[in-house]
Amino acid sequence: MQKIVLASSSKYRRELLKKLQIDFIYDSSHIDESPQANESASALAIRLAIEKAAAVAEKYPNHLIIGSDQVATFGNILLGKPGNREKAFQQLQAQSGQKVSFFTGICVLNSASGHTFTDLDICKVHFRNLSDSQIQRYLTIEQAFDCAGSFMSEGYGITLFSKIEGEDPNALIGLPLIKLIKLLDQCGLAIP
């Protein structure tokens, strides 16, 4: 059986993958995550998932490599990671009472055969109407400056929402396990 490599240093993705009770290692994939001209959010999420898996493939020539990436959109605007409190506040203020869509691309690359299997999860998050003081309090409790959309649904960020629409709650955290299980099955690795 081929070994599994998670092409990510994200502690959130590692914790999610542990749910499947499979042995894996992880390795950082350093790629340029900039969108290409006229690239849709769904195409960007899939492309980045593939590129992350491919970036570590040379180091692991007989492995199943998992790449995943998430892109958030608000209307037609791509939401990046805010990087600091001020930008996070501005993002959350704009999202108050609105809907944000999360596109999570997933890729399993068989580095021995070169075959690539991909899928996409789409999750929509409906934000409550938030006051400035609620946003400030949230940012004091949870400094989600390295998260697209400025929140972490696995933590206190869940208090920001009125509703979540999606097939897999794990996708919002960054790794759609339901789709991953299907892709691993296509690669010959059945998860009980």
In the annotation, is 27 catalytic?
no
**Active-site position among 32, 69, 146, 185:** 69
Taking the CA atoms of residue 192, residue 116, residue 172 and residue 40 in that order, the dihedral angle to the nearest 10 degrees is -160
pLDDT band at residue 50 using 50, 70 and 90 as cut-offs: very high
Tens digits of per-residue pLDDT, 23-44? 999 999 889 888 899 999 999 9
The H helix count followed by the E strand count for the chain is 6, 7
**pLDDT score of 45:** 95
Structural domains present in the chain: 3-186 (3.90.950.10)
Tens digits of per-residue pLDDT, 147-164? 888 888 888 889 999 999
Residues 6+ apart with CB under 8 A from 11: none
